[in-house]
Amino acid sequence: MIANPKQFYNRRVYVGGYLHIEFEGNVLYVSKDDFSYCLEKNAFFLNFDREEMKSLIAKGFQNRDVTVKGTFKESYLGHASVNSGGLKSLIVVNSLIKNSHR
């Protein structure tokens, strides 16, 4: 999706990555290293409202490897337009690592 965003535009996708949740910064990074080094182009903006954010944090998804299912929008670049597209209409978020401590 990063290399060929037009190919995935408006398609339902199921992707894995490193989830970071914060106000105006709900992002799925390709990897934890991309998050650590603030590589925003290796990330997708996620459309969560405030209640969804709180729920995901309470469930332990903050700063974890997860899978997400949603509709890809190449023009949905997130706050300050720094990401490589975004996902809307999210319906699934699962932790890839259960009960681990980071």
Q: Please write the tens of the pLDDT for every residue from 14-68.
A: 999 999 999 888 999 999 999 999 999 999 999 888 898 999 999 989 999 999 9
Q: Could you count the other beta carbons within 10 Å of the beta carbon of residue 51?
A: 8
Specify if 29 maps to a domain.
yes
For residue 101, being part of any structural domain is answered with no
Which CATH number characterizes residue 60's domain?
A: 2.40.50
Structure confidence at residue 89 (pLDDT): 84
> Does residue 76 form part of some domain?
yes
Report yes or no on 100 lying in a domain.
no
Q: What is the pLDDT of residue 37?
A: 97
Total domains in the fold of the chain: 1
Domain that holds residue 29: 5-95
**40 within a domain of the structure (yes/no):** yes
Q: What is the pLDDT of residue 94?
A: 80
pLDDT tens-digit readout, 54-92: 999 999 899 999 999 999 998 777 767 788 888 988 866
Residues 6+ positions from 15 with CB-CB distance below 8 Å: 1, 28, 44, 67, 68, 69, 87
Residue 102 lies in a domain: no
Task: Specify which residues 64 forms β-bridges with.
Answer: 19
What pTM was estimated for this model as a whole? Answer: 0.86
Structure tokens, 63: 């700063």
Give the pLDDT of residue 80.
74
Closest CA to 86 of 36, 48, 51, 32: 48
Q: DSSP characters for 3-41? A: S-HHHHTT-EEEEEEEEE--TT--EEESSHHHHHTT-GG
